């Protein structure tokens, strides 16, 4: 009887096992471009799987019909009914859900947070967009963004909300990029092929980042290698003999990752003014190397070392008047920078994270004017800047609703330059605290502040308060208030510069008295406008800013965003003449002026017209003004001469053109078409910049006449990419199709053609 029972039980068990036979289902999750989506979630009842770095997954299912749910952050969840074992392979193309912009950003809070939980005006530019438009350098990427103006002022710089490059902090992987010319960080120094994304915070971020973040922050996040071994090479060639070569090799495993990126860019330059000997953009070549290394000691301790090196050479010609003779010179220039960023991350407990970051960087320039005939050196100069910082950051994730971030840091900055008598040094200590409160899915708040103590100017506290509220499924409201500041730099405090060709002199505010005494004793001063003894050391500039934003979601495939902004800046630092020299040129120094205001609105719309066609468009209205100018106009103290009648007239407020180099109207539009069947994409973009003031021609100190403006312009750019064999992309395009030229924009030489090839290879260990 016992034997019979065992036999029956065994038969039943075998019958049951036979009915529960499982079959392996293989699949892949991609976006509309065919790019695999990592970390996508696949669920079938109680069973589930996660896609790997290529979007691939495997899941075992029993015979029968199963409902499969596929989801990924930022995409619309899909469900499918499958019959097993009839279906052995499964491919899903997920569509982006514009209402769920859960991109993870770090710049706004110094912690990894979903963008929907950050109530600040933020733009995120992806590597995909950078690649599709065929950009070579950072200025070409930012040119096509809403509310960002690329301006030519001692280099190719950026404006955000009407504030210039002086007030924008540029970061690479969270650390500052140094090396500015007259306050402008030249964006053509920065290659873009190794960029994972660019995070742009609009409005003051001094509550986390201190000085130079008064207008906002641009944080460049570089790429990390995919799991396994990967390599890529990309080459492009443009009009004017411009070539760009990129190469990347990387490896990543569970414990270690390492990569190195190389870029070489060069151009023959071009000349937009045939009346001058010098080229508008000189012949140059530049090299970038970016090695990265990460080692995971354990689940709780992680060390990363990131570094970057850049070197550039320029060649030009210059004509210098010596006595009564015009002498041709070789104008040679070099600039370089390097940085080293070690970071140690420690997970003390599940909710307690500690980061110790070091940062060391140097920026150097050298220039020479060499007589072309006898090779004698007419003039040489150099600028050498060092910046070191150490920072400790502690993050306490109390729970999903409460996050606290605290940090301490010390910076040391030195400059050794031709125009400074000695090596000069700045030292600063700082502390910041930020609290994030997310009580519900609809409401979130950020409260924070930073205290800075500096050896060259007064201590300063910068606050920040921001809140966001989701009114319903199609309206989000964001509001923020913040204080920003910008400390005087070495140039404004210590510069002692006389132009060897033009003969004018610029003096920093701390040395102006001693240097003016020397010039007077040397009989170089003809007239004194301002008594040097009355000139005080300039103070740090400060600002208060307000932002109010509305995100509207008319449907799952569209979004319209409005952001109203106002920046009130006090103690603006500007140059002004203080004396006239016997050679007819002026002596300039730096002063704090009264309040300046920039205000306006950014509008941006994103629309998915079809699964393969996306349209985005943006517009900015900007009102910029100096309050002192406004008051003088109201009081009837500003005049101009009517060229038709030669009569002197009072200037009215409607004549006032605002601050120099600001356009009242600007905008852009982008149309992206992706064809998955034939593996190609097209990007058609247009950029508009309205007229802007370039200088005072009638001597009344403001922009108020038509001949004081640069003309507005439209740019039209086209890029086409074709994928072959899933690993090779052929690139081609035309920038500035309409062949627009503007004498006030040296980076706009006319129509530019380009072509290139991009090869990506990888061997993954999944």
Backbone angles phi, psi at 240, to 5 degrees: 70, 25
CA separation, residue 584 to residues 504, 527, 581 (Å): 9, 10, 5
**For 158-187, what is the mean pLDDT?**
87
How far is it, in rounded angstroms, from Cα 387 to Cα 631?
41
- pLDDT on residue 763: 60
Band (53; pLDDT cuts 50, 70, 90): low
Among 7-11, 137-141, 357-361, the range scoring the smallest mean pLDDT is 7-11
Residue of 638 and 2 predicted with greater confidence? 638
Q: Using the predicted structure, report yes or no on whether residue 19 has a pLDDT greater than 80.
A: no
User: Which residue would you say has higher pLDDT here, 43 or 136?
Assistant: 136
Name the one residue in this structure whose structure tokens are 């030229």. Answer: 741
CA 498 vs CA 333, 508, 515: distances in Å: 19, 12, 12
Asked whether the CA dihedral 639, 643, 647, 652 is positive or negative, the reply is negative
Find all residues with CB under 8 Å of 594, minimum gap 6, and list them: 570, 572, 626, 627, 628
369-383, 423-437, 752-766 — which is least confidently predicted? Answer: 752-766
Strand partners, 167: none
Q: Is the CATH number of domain 104-218 2.40.30.10? A: no
Of the candidates 668, 663, 747, the residue with the CA atom closest to the CA atom of residue 156:
747
Indicate if the pLDDT at residue 156 is higher than 90: no
pLDDT at 4: 43
Q: 737 near 716, Cβ under 8 Å?
A: yes
Q: Are 48 and 690 in contact (CB under 8 A)?
A: no
Of residues 605 and 514, more confidence is placed in 605
Tokens of 565: 């902004």
* Separation CA 447–CA 119 (nearest Å): 11
Where b means 16+ CB within 10 Å and e means fewer, 163-174 reads bbbbbbbbbbbb
400 vs 259: CA distance, rounded Å: 34
Per residue in 677-690, pLDDT (tens digit) is 889 999 999 999 99
Res. 33 pLDDT band, cuts 50 70 90? low
Q: Which of 272-276, 578-582, 643-647, 745-749 has the lowest mean pLDDT?
A: 643-647
CATH code, 2-93: 2.60.40.10
User: What letter does residue 281 receive in the DSSP assignment?
Assistant: B
Residue reference for tokens 């609703």? 401
Q: Does the pTM of the predicted model rise above 0.75?
A: yes
pLDDT the model gives residue 40: 75
Q: What are the extents of the domains in the chain?
A: 2-93, 104-218
**Residue 575 pLDDT > 80:** no
Number of continuous H segments (helices) and E segments (strands) in the chain: 7, 47
Q: Cα 473 to chain center, whole Å?
A: 31
The SS3 assignment for 240 reads helix
pLDDT at res. 461? 92
**Per-residue pLDDT tens for 599-642?**
999 999 999 998 899 999 999 999 999 898 899 999 988 888 77
| Beta pairing, strands 692-693 & 709-710 | antiparallel
pLDDT tens-digit readout, 348-396: 877 899 999 999 999 999 989 999 888 999 888 888 999 999 999 999 9
pLDDT in tens, 77-129: 788 888 888 777 888 888 765 444 456 778 878 887 777 778 888 889 999 99
**Residues for the chain: how many in total?**
766
pLDDT of 379 reads 85
Map residue 127 onto helix, strand or coil.
helix
What's the chain's Rg over C-alpha atoms? 30
3-state secondary structure of 6: helix
pLDDT above 60 for 264: yes
Task: Report yes or no: 538 and 509 within 8 Å, Cβ to Cβ.
Answer: yes
Which phi-psi region, left, alpha or beta, contains residue 161 (left: φ > 0; alpha: ψ -120 to 50)? left
| Phi, psi torsion values for 69, nearest 5 degrees | -110, 130
Distance of CA 758 to the CA centre of its chain: 24
Give the pLDDT confidence of 432-460 residue by residue, as tens digits.
Answer: 999 999 888 889 999 999 999 988 777 88
pLDDT tens across 233-257, in order?
999 999 999 999 999 999 999 899 9
- Beta-carbon neighbour count of residue 228 at 10 Å? 16
pLDDT 10s digits, 299-344 = 889 999 999 999 999 999 888 877 778 889 898 999 999 999 999 9
Residue with tokens 């052995």: 88
Q: Which two tokens stand for residue 66?
A: 């199963």
Q: What is the mean predicted confidence (pLDDT) over 263-274?
A: 90
Q: What does the pLDDT average to over 249-270?
A: 94
pLDDT of residue 63: 83
Q: How far apart, in Å, are the Cα atoms of 115 and each of 59, 104, 119, 467, 559?
A: 32, 6, 8, 13, 15
- Bridge partners (DSSP) of residue 161 are none
| Phi, psi angle pair for 523, to nearest 5° | 60, 35
* Cα 156 to Cα 143: distance, rounded to the nearest angstrom: 11
The pLDDT > 70 percentage for the chain reads 93
pLDDT higher at 72 or 425: 425
Show the CA angle centred on residue 354, arms to residues 353 and 360, nearest 5°.
140
Among candidate residues 22, 15, 28, 78, the one with its CA nearest the CA of residue 47? 22
**What digits encode the pLDDT tens for the residues 401-410?**
899 999 999 9
- Assess whether pLDDT exceeds 80 at residue 498: no
Tens digit of each residue's pLDDT (9 = 90 or more) over 692-701: 988 777 778 7
Q: Mapped to the 3 state alphabet, what secondary structure does 575-634 carry?
A: EEEEEEECCCCEEEEEEEECCEEEEEEEEEEEEEEECCEEEEEEEEEEEEEEHHHHHHHH
Does 2-93 match 104-218 in CATH topology?
A: no
Strands of 438-528 (E only): list them: 443-454, 460-472, 475-486, 496-498, 505-507, 525-528
């Amino acid at each position: 009887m016992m034997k019979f029972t065992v036999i029956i039980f065994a038969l039943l068990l075998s019958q049951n096992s036979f009915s529960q036979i499982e079959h392996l289902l293989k699949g892949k999750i991609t976006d509309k471009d065919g790019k695999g989506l990592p970390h996508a979630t696949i669920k079938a009842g109680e069973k589930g799987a996660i896609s790997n770095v290529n979007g691939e997954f495997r899941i075992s299912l029993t015979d029968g019909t199963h409902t499969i749910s596929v989801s990924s952050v930022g995409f619309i969840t899909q469900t499918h009914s499958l019959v097993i074992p009839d279906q052995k392979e499964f491919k899903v193309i997920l569509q982006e859900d514009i209402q769920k912009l859960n991109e993870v950003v770090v710049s706004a809070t110094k912690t990894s947070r979903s963008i929907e939980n950050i109530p600040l005006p933020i733009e995120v530019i992806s590597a995909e967009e950078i690649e599709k438009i065929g950009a070579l350098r950072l200025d070409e990427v930012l040119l096509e963004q809403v509310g960002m103006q690329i301006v030519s002022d001692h280099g190719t710089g950026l404006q955000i909300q009407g504030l210039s490059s002086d007030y924008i902090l540029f970061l690479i992987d969270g650390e500052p990029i140094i090396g500015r010319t007259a306050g402008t960080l030249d964006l053509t120094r920065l290659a873009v092929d190794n960029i994972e994304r660019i995070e742009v915070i609009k409005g003051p971020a001094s509550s986390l980042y201190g000085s130079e973040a008064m207008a906002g922050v641009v944080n460049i996040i570089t790429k990390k290698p995919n799991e396994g071994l990967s390599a890529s090479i990309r080459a492009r060639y443009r009009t004017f003999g411009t070539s760009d070569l990129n190469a990347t090799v990387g490896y990543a495993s569970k414990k270690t990752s390492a990569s190195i990126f190389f870029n070489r860019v060069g151009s023959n330059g071009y000349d937009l003014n045939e009346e001058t000997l010098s080229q508008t953009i000189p012949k140059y070549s530049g090299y970038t190397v970016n090695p990265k290394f990460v080692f995971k000691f354990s689940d709780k301790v992680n060390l990363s070392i990131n570094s970057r090196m850049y070197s550039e050479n320029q060649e030009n010609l210059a004509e210098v008047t010596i006595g009564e003779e015009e002498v041709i010179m070789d104008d040679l220039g070099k600039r370089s920078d390097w940085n080293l960023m070690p970071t140690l991350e420690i997970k003390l407990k599940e909710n307690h994270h500690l980061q110790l970051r070091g940062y060391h960087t140097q920026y150097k320039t050298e220039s020479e004017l060499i007589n072309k005939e006898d090779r004698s050196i007419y003039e040489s100069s150099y600028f050498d800047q060092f910046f070191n910082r150490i920072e400790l950051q502690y993050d306490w994730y109390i729970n999903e609703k409460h996050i606290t971030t605290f940090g301490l840091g010390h910076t040391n900055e030195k400059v050794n330059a031709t125009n400074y008598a000695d090596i000069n040094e700045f030292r600063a200590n700082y502390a910041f605290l930020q609290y994030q409160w997310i009580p519900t899915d609809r409401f979130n708040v950020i409260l924070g502040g930073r205290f800075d103590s500096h050896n060259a100017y007064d201590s300063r506290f910068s606050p920040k308060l921001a809140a966001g509220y989701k009114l319903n499924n199609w309206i989000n409201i964001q509001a923020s208030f913040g204080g920003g500041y910008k400390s005087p730099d070495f140039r404004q405090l210590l510069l002692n510069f006389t132009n060897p060709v033009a003969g004018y002199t610029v003096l920093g505010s701390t040395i102006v008295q001693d240097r003016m005494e020397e010039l007077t004793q040397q009989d170089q001063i003809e007239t004194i406008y301002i008594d040097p003894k009355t000139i005080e050391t300039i103070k740090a500039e400060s600002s208060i800013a307000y932002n109010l934003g509305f995100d509207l979601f008319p449907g799952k495939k569209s979004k319209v965003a409005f952001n109203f902004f106002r920046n009130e800046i006090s103690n603006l630092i500007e140059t002004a003449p203080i004396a006239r020299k016997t050679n007819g040129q002026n002596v300039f120094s730096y002063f704090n002026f009264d309040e300046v205001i920039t205000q306006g609105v950014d509008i941006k719309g994103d629309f998915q017209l079809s699964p393969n066609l996306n349209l985005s468009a943006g517009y900015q209205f900007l009102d910029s003004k100096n309050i002192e100018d406004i008051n003088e106009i109201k009081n009837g103290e500003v005049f101009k001469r009517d060229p038709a009648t030669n009569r002197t007239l009072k200037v009215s407020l409607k004549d006032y053109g605002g601050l120099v180099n600001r356009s009242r109207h600007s905008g852009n539009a982008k149309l992206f078409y992706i064809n998955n069947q034939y593996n190609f994409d097209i990007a058609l973009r247009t950029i508009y910049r309205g007229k802007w003031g370039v200088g005072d021609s009638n001597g009344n100190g403001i922009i108020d006449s038509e001949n004081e403006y640069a003309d507005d312009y439209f740019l039209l750019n086209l890029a086409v990419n074709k994928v072959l064999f899933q690993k090779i992309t052929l690139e081609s395009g035309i920038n500035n199709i309409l062949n627009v030229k503007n004498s006030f924009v040296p980076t706009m030489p006319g129509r530019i053609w380009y072509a290139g090839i991009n090869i990506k290879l990888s061997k993954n260990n999944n």
